[in-house]
A and B are shown apart, each in its own frame.
Chain A
Amino acid sequence: MRHRWISVLICAATTAAATAACGSGGAANQTADGKTELTIATFNEFGYEELFKEYEAAHPDIKITQRKTGQGQPHHQNLFTKLGAGSGLADIEGVEEGYLSQFMSKAGQFNDLKEIGPKVEDDRWLKWKTEAITTKDGKLMGYGTDIGPLAMCYRKDLFEKAGLPSDPEGVKALFTSWDAYFAAGDQFIAKVPGVAWFDSAAQVYNAMHNQLETGYYDKSDKLVVDTNADIKKNWNTVTAAVAKGQSARLGAFSNEWNTGFKLGKFATKTCPSWMLGVVESQAGPENKGLWAVTDAFPNGGGNWGGSYLTVPKQSKNAQKAAELAAWLTAPEQQIKAFKAKGTFPSQNKALDAPELLEQTNAYFGDVKAGALFATQAKKIKAAQYKGPADGQIQETVFSPALQSVEQGKNADEAWKTAVEGAQKAAK
């Protein structure tokens, strides 16, 4: 009976599939020793590893399991897949700012933290940070973790070459408004041939766009792409600069973009706090001391990046999950996360913490980076209202359309494509 195991295997496969449906029905989130297990799904670096141990020590009935994904993209695809499947989400899910509009359009699947969470002081977070994750009817869908306040990075040596001021104070005049910024760009490219003023049109445009009071949608979720004159004005300004040669035409995060840093092919870069590490890693040690950053940004401030902790309705321990999330996002904890992994805190008190204010960055000439970005974070006035397809319009419609202009497409035609694309995305 040498081959009886074949039939055994086949039988096993058949019956396993047929009977498994009756297996483990209500998997309660209890560990063997009776603790409540809380799962938390994060991506990138939230800097929470040590904090989990601290929380577990203070709450002996809780066991925390972290599901960590490296990159944001697979994390969010995972999140939305399980949202679609109706099960499998962690008790706490991290959501990044770039996916906020998609997330908010699914707010019904998540818990209102004002309702289930512990009492949290009203002014814990920067106002705009909380605003962005509050629904129109006042529900709080997530606790803010970190942010990415924008400053301007620039190449000191290239500025000097162009006869522009290059010290952190003097340079601020160039970055007071977008008009001043692009005018300085004209001056720069006239003096330094072969080097552009900025890396990519979409990077600049998105920063400008997010400063507008009204973006692609108005507050009644009506798409206003073709009627909001500010959008067209920004479009015209940026595409005009591209036509003049101010753009290095390097798509952000592409290989060519990395090479552009190395070769010094552009003189300024819109810089959220986390971008300093990117610049250092891409430009490399041979460019150390050439890059600088200043606490100025055209037309005020801005934000790019940062995340929230949310509690899905799928969670069987929503209340305990909310307690943990509230604890993690308290200023004392976020400062520890900042020290562990450099995530820039979104909490008012944390922005005044000495640990943050004293942080310096050696690559950028020992600049007091913590204090600099804290100043920038406070300059942001309000969060722009984001409609349901807002993120999609920015990522898959307007950014590619601007790149197509950089690739040589007529700006008016590209505008038409962008408007049509936005209308299609919003449908």
Chain B
Amino acid sequence: MTATLSKVDRGRAQEARPRPPRRYRLSNADAKYSPYLFVAPFFVLFGTIGLFPLLYTAYVSLFDWEIGDDDPPFVGLENYRTLFTDDQFWNALFNTFSIFLLSSAPQIVVAVLIAALLNANLRARTGWRMGVLLPYVASLVALTIIFGNLFGPQYGLVNDVLGLLGIDPIDWQASTFGSHVAIASMVNWRWTGYNALIILAAMQAIPRDVYEAALVDGASALRRFFSITLPMLKPTLIFVIVTSTIGGLQIFTEPKLFEPSGGSGGGTEHQYQTVVLYLYQSAFQGFDLGYASAIAWVLFLVVIAVAGLNFFLTRRAVK
């Protein structure tokens, strides 16, 4: 840690460079206002369409609001107070973090590896790249059946294989850890190739001459990877880590598919109910829109906090 702190930040070094005087024909107004024009579409769209649901949710969270109510009673922060003493919420938060850790860490490491392999001078490049992205377009119906057959407690393929190895079958539905592993493997299967391609795009932006210089210096492949590739990937790694933190903590589809009944309880005793599943269950099975909105806001703050933390850790770790 101390070693990394003493280094000069790369970005800052760039900013410190003297900037050319503005004596050219560049219009002042253009430089001043164009950037705002460039980012305006996002904010206009968010302001007209994205913001309303956000504020609406915040508003609803202050009421004892059932779906379809005309005149719900105002309860202030009561929903939030209930939430903090709700065992099911804490259980869901634990499950979310557990599945998140089991999925994102291995996923990013493998994704970097796959990206490095894809970045080699392969024949039929497009084919390989297309291949690793296939899980991203797989139909959810097919996935439900396939993973259901793989992790079936009684007739599942994984347990059959474990049996051949002399290992007792695992009840992937009943066991907390077992279900988390099963869901995490589903997540990893779906998203590793996707992250690999994101990283690959960044790898391709690294100029070839940097490598060639290192080759001339006689640096080994491993050394080239750690001292050239990884640092140059920093912005993209930050991107991948922040987005997969955000996505991972909002995990919903995979645990929902894993529930054999198609419900959102996340297992018979909520062994694998995540926060968003709980939110969904509260809103669309319990009709408790006020409470679900409170869950949504608390989750939002948790995600921001963890994503922010990961951002700073990544920024320091990868130099």
* Of the residues A13, A80, A389, A400, contact of B44 by C-beta under 8 Å: A13
- B40 and A10 contacting across the interface, CB-CB below 8 Å: yes
Q: How far is the CA of A400 from the CA of B270 in the complex (A)?
A: 9
Prevailing SS type, chain A contact patch? helix
Chain B interface: which of A211-219, A366-374, A403-411? A403-411
Give the bracket for the number of chain B residues in contact with chain A: 35 or more
- A84 and B268 contacting across the interface, CB-CB below 8 Å: no
With contacts A83-B68, A253-B261, A255-B260 taken as known, whether A404 is within 8 angstroms of B45 at the C-beta atoms is no
* Of the residues A253, A256, A409, contact of B262 by C-beta under 8 Å: A253
* Of the residues A17, A80, A105, A250, contact of B284 by C-beta under 8 Å: A80
- B269 and A409 contacting across the interface, CB-CB below 8 Å: yes
Q: How far is the CB of B117 from chain A (nearest CB, A)?
A: 34
Q: Which residues of B contact A84 (CB under 8 A)?
A: 67-68, 289
- B269 and A251 contacting across the interface, CB-CB below 8 Å: no
Per-residue contact bits, chain A 239-256, to B (CB 8 Å; 1 contact, 0 not) = 000000000011111111
Q: How far is the CB of B94 from chain A (nearest CB, A)?
A: 17
* Of the residues B37, B171, B268, B284, contact of A401 by C-beta under 8 Å: B268
Prevailing SS type, chain B contact patch? loop
Q: How far is the CA of A18 from the CA of B152 in the complex (A)?
A: 52
- B145 and A255 contacting across the interface, CB-CB below 8 Å: yes
Residues of B222-261 at the interface with A, using a CB-CB cut-off of 8 Å, are: 260-261
- A77 and B284 contacting across the interface, CB-CB below 8 Å: yes
With contacts A13-B44, A17-B49, A109-B68 taken as known, whether A425 is within 8 angstroms of B269 at the C-beta atoms is no
Q: How far is the CA of A162 from the CA of B41 in the complex (A)?
A: 73
Number of residues on chain A facing chain B (CB within 8 A): 42
- A392 and B286 contacting across the interface, CB-CB below 8 Å: yes
Q: Which residues of B contact A73 (CB under 8 A)?
A: 262
Q: Is A281 an interface residue (CB 8 A)?
A: no
Q: Which residues of B contact A13 (CB under 8 A)?
A: 41, 44-45
With contacts A17-B48, A409-B269 taken as known, whether A251 is within 8 angstroms of B174 at the C-beta atoms is no
- B260 and A253 contacting across the interface, CB-CB below 8 Å: yes
Q: Which residue of A lies closest to B281 (CB)?
A: A396
Q: How far is the CA of A425 from the CA of B291 in the complex (A)?
A: 12
Q: Which residues of A contact B285 (CB under 8 A)?
A: 392, 395-396
Q: How far is the CA of A349 from the CA of B119 in the complex (A)?
A: 72
Q: How far is the CA of A190 from the CA of B304 in the complex (A)?
A: 58
Q: How far is the CB of A111 from chain B (nearest CB, A)?
A: 14
Q: How far is the CA of A250 from the CA of B173 in the complex (A)?
A: 11
Residues of B20-55 at the interface with A, using a CB-CB cut-off of 8 Å, are: 37, 40-41, 44-45, 48-49
Q: Is B193 an interface residue (CB 8 A)?
A: no
Q: Which residues of B contact A106 (CB under 8 A)?
A: 67-68
- B287 and A102 contacting across the interface, CB-CB below 8 Å: yes
Residues of A162-182 at the interface with B, using a CB-CB cut-off of 8 Å, are: none
Q: How far is the CA of A13 from the CA of B42 in the complex (A)?
A: 10
* Of the residues A407, A417, A424, contact of B174 by C-beta under 8 Å: A407
Per-residue contact bits, chain B 44-82, to A (CB 8 Å; 1 contact, 0 not) = 110011000000000000000011101000000000000
With contacts A13-B45, A83-B68, A250-B154 taken as known, whether A404 is within 8 angstroms of B269 at the C-beta atoms is yes
Q: Which residues of B contact A404 (CB under 8 A)?
A: 174, 268-269
Between A and B, 19 residue pairs with Cβ closer than 8 Å are A13-B44, A73-B262, A83-B67, A83-B68, A108-B70, A255-B148, A255-B152, A256-B148, A256-B156, A256-B260, A392-B285, A396-B263, A396-B265, A400-B267, A403-B268, A404-B268, A407-B171, A407-B173, A408-B171
- Beyond contacts A80-B284, A395-B263: 15 other A-B pairs, Cβ-Cβ < 8 A, are A10-B37, A10-B40, A14-B40, A17-B48, A80-B287, A83-B68, A102-B287, A105-B287, A106-B67, A255-B148, A396-B263, A401-B268, A403-B268, A409-B268, A417-B269
- B residues in contact (CB < 8 Å) with A: 37, 40-41, 44-45, 48-49, 66-68, 70, 88, 145, 148-149, 152-156, 171, 173-174, 260-263, 265, 267-269, 281, 284-287, 289
Task: Across the A-B interface, give the 9 residue pairs with the lowest CB-CB distance, nearest first.
Answer: A254-B260, A255-B148, A407-B174, A404-B268, A17-B48, A84-B67, A400-B268, A83-B68, A403-B268
